[in-house]
């Protein structure tokens, strides 16, 4: 069975889709990266053509428990803060309660 590999645009994780998975996906459906929760919308799914577009990163606000999407624009505008562990985190604001939410990305960079 053919397996289609998609690189997550956020964390670089390889998402594997089998023919069966693809058969169940329609244009407009969203797939979510298991590693970083990035949400991608299927924009094309025909024969050899499969394309996704990054929607955002599905995040649950620790303050009000509501889910929201962090988009690339939000990330670009987000200030960077030092998290408790010393890593760099992006500070975005929850659209529901306006609480600041720290987003941490595990970068898969090899030294
Ligand atoms: Zn990812
Ligand atoms: Zn909130």
CATH number at residue 17: 2.20.28.160
* pLDDT value for 110: 55
* pLDDT value for 62: 94
CA of 60 to the centre of ligand 2 (A): 8
Helix (H), strand (E) at residue 77: helix 72-77
How far apart CA 25 and CA 42 sit, in angstroms, is 8
**Which mean pLDDT values do the consecutive 10-residue runs of the chain (111 residues) have?**
88 93 95 92 91 93 95 91 87 96 71 52
Decide if 41 contacts 30 (C-beta within 8 A): yes
CA of 38 to the centre of ligand 1 (A): 5
Determine, yes or no, domain membership for 80.
Answer: no
Q: What is the CA radius of gyration of the chain?
A: 16
* pLDDT value for 111: 52
* pLDDT value for 22: 93
Domain of 12 in residue numbering reads as 3-56
* pLDDT value for 106: 63
CA of 69 to the centre of ligand 2 (A): 12
Determine, yes or no, domain membership for 98.
Answer: no
Residues forming a β-bridge with 52: 42
Determine, yes or no, domain membership for 100.
Answer: no
Tally the domains of the chain.
1
How far apart CA 22 and CA 25 sit, in angstroms, is 5
CA of 92 to the centre of ligand 2 (A): 11
Decide if 12 contacts 5 (C-beta within 8 A): no
């Amino acid at each position: 069975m053919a397996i289609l590999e998609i690189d997550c645009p956020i964390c670089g994780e390889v998402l594997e889709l089998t023919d069966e998975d693809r058969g169940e996906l329609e244009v407009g459906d969203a797939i979510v990266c298991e590693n970083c929760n990035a949400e991608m919308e299927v924009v094309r799914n025909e024969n050899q053509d499969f394309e996704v577009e990054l929607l955002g990163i599905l995040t649950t606000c620790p303050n009000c428990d509501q889910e929201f999407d962090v988009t690339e624009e939000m990330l670009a505008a987000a200030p960077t803060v030092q998290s408790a562990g010393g890593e760099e985190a992006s500070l975005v604001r929850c659209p529901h309660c306006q609480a600041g939410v720290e987003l941490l990305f595990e970068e898969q960079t090899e030294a």
